[in-house]
Structure 1
């Protein structure tokens, strides 16, 4: 007799950030996570997480809409179903609902965690097996203040916590951003890689000017300089400059990846399990990218520990992460809701050991940060 899904709960959790986190489209002071708990008929529990950036400032799903989607649409279809065949459940949801990839990712993650606990195997084993136990992680310098960002970068280099840095730009005039970035690159020199994320803020003409200046300043990578739907601009820019472009918002899943590669894009892709609709679909995207000679990068929506670990299990199965990862979300938050935080050191993070995701909820912390009246 197979275990069946007995209950599904989606919980809004609000945790302050360690500092204002400035992006092109918003500035964050609090991160909201949707924590999903799926329990089966044998008493086991699987954990998942859906998190986005700045409510609706980043994408079409908000934490509140994710909670509603899971409780009003996914839960009635899943409760009572066998919990072991994740593919069957995933296809069923795909046929009955459209979009809502963040919500899908949280559900798939919780089901994988549940399956791993049932089989006493880590999620990475369910995804093909881990090739890496320690995964590189960069840090985003996003205070917006040049001197403060330089001090932060130099301190982290001394600690050997990070040696790659990304800067969020696009909210100021191009040359103001370029001067900010160039000063930081000059300060860290060759001991650190410096990349930028424009978050779709430039049109193609502005991007042409900005990328030329950034290339001259020694910047290593430019993430999503132009609007997500303007695939032609990404292709043309990738051919014009030797500084690589990292496609992010333009690419959600394997079909998007194929379309961009077929158009002649040469660069890298920021994979995100939430954007793709779950760890398995993110790895499908990676397969297409690898076949097209496009570099891989493990991206984040600034998830907490549960969502971060889910992504780490997926990234650990990839032979090469050409540009590393940015799975630093838990470090951006002032507190955590798990019993054992992730171990960040030596410019990366350890993959947690143990069955499933390898993390457990701290019930007291969850109660403290759980949004009231939900």
Structure 2
């Protein structure tokens, strides 16, 4: 019997509106831009993938336009004719051909997994070893920058049982202003919710020493990437003295980074992101490093739409423990999406389908409507 091969890869840039501006330390998102990948195989099976960045080059090394260009010109041609079911061989070919480009590779690996799952009648989580849960608790980011508005938003989400884990994006304002903002929200929410902060590398070490002490002493559960990823010594020192756990995010740009951080003792929590590791299989290698080192796990996001969110979710379902939950709320930030089946959020969790592949079908009309011309 002839094995199916990879016939064609097509990329589209899609711009989707968001429910509100999303304020980060380095950038304010007014919309979300996705790179959607369609991988077609000789047996007629199509796999879909997604690569999404937060704020384009303001956040990381890859932009939507660069992702599309590199897939079209370099990565896709290298895959044509390869066995569609041999994901390992395809990704090894890409790693030999191109350094980095983890966002682009993640979209391709996702599409290969989706196609193989459809071909075999299995959800992606089964291809990744088998799910040990069917849903994931999901945090929400309070990012309006206005204290009263953020409190009202959190109270509403608690009332409708959508979220009880809240992250605050801080760092762009003066330190004392940010601390007042965070502590006011924590006082209002009390023990009804977990409150965490994400600094996106915006503090220097001296600011972080003081801030982490204040935050930890006042019930803040987690501090994400408070100082620059290149200050490895500072991360180690901060992790040793902060009363609140320190989570590495921007510090992990690869699986190799995860090993180096674990060996140095630079964080007690790792944020897992498929886009920054190179795909759902790759992110599980980072998780294995963390678990071996006794480092706790958090399911991170690049604020992907439904495709990237469910690709992450299928990987996270296979993990033994996610101590700090996940942040897979990207589809909830959008007013429109490009899939027929909206991800299901209820009782504080994202519920992940057990249907073949990712469990999603593209909505052709919506895709055409929002695709960048």
Give me the whole-angstrom Cα distance separating, in 2, the residues matched to 1:131 and 1:203.
40
Partner of 2:355: 354
Contact 1:150 1:184 in 2 (8 A): yes
Contact 1:254 1:286 in 2 (8 A): no
Contact 2:249 2:271 in 1 (8 A): yes
Partner of 1:159: 160
Partner of 1:49: 50
Secondary structure at the counterpart of residue 38 of structure 1: strand
Give me the whole-angstrom Cα distance separating, in 2, the residues matched to 1:269 and 1:128.
21
Partner of 2:108: 107
Contact 1:308 1:327 in 2 (8 A): yes
Aligned counterparts, 1:326-345, within 5 A: 326-345=327-346
Give me the whole-angstrom Cα distance separating, in 2, the residues matched to 1:215 and 1:319.
27
Partner of 1:178: 179
Give me the whole-angstrom Cα distance separating, in 1, the residues matched to 2:104 and 2:245.
31
Aligned counterparts, 1:211-360, within 5 A: 211-360=212-361
Partner of 1:188: 189
Secondary structure at the counterpart of residue 10 of structure 1: strand
Give me the whole-angstrom Cα distance separating, in 1, the residues matched to 2:116 and 2:267.
37
Give me the whole-angstrom Cα distance separating, in 2, the residues matched to 1:362 and 1:29.
23
Deviations 1:36-59 (A, max 9, x none): 000001111000000001111000
Give me the whole-angstrom Cα distance separating, in 2, the residues matched to 1:126 and 1:287.
17
Contact 2:45 2:115 in 1 (8 A): yes
Give me the whole-angstrom Cα distance separating, in 2, the residues matched to 1:35 and 1:156.
30
Partner of 2:147: 146
Kindly state the Cα deviation for residue 266 of structure 1 after the two structures are TM-superposed.
4.4
Secondary structure at the counterpart of residue 371 of structure 1: coil
Contact 2:235 2:267 in 1 (8 A): no
Kindly state the Cα deviation for residue 233 of structure 1 after the two structures are TM-superposed.
1.2
Contact 1:254 1:285 in 2 (8 A): yes
Give me the whole-angstrom Cα distance separating, in 2, the residues matched to 1:10 and 1:358.
20
Kindly state the Cα deviation for residue 332 of structure 1 after the two structures are TM-superposed.
0.4
Unaligned runs of 5+ residues in structure 1 are none
Kindly state the Cα deviation for residue 262 of structure 1 after the two structures are TM-superposed.
1.2
Kindly state the Cα deviation for residue 6 of structure 1 after the two structures are TM-superposed.
1.0
Give me the whole-angstrom Cα distance separating, in 2, the residues matched to 1:288 and 1:327.
22
Secondary structure at the counterpart of residue 56 of structure 2: coil
Contact 1:140 1:166 in 2 (8 A): yes
Give me the whole-angstrom Cα distance separating, in 1, the residues matched to 2:234 and 2:150.
30
Give me the whole-angstrom Cα distance separating, in 1, the residues matched to 2:265 and 2:114.
38
Secondary structure at the counterpart of residue 56 of structure 1: helix
Give me the whole-angstrom Cα distance separating, in 2, the residues matched to 1:62 and 1:324.
28
Partner of 1:205: 206
Deviations 1:1-29 (A, max 9, x none): 11111110010000011000000000001
Contact 2:272 2:286 in 1 (8 A): yes
Kindly state the Cα deviation for residue 271 of structure 1 after the two structures are TM-superposed.
0.5
Q: CA RMSD in A?
A: 0.8
Give me the whole-angstrom Cα distance separating, in 1, the residues matched to 2:265 and 2:64.
35
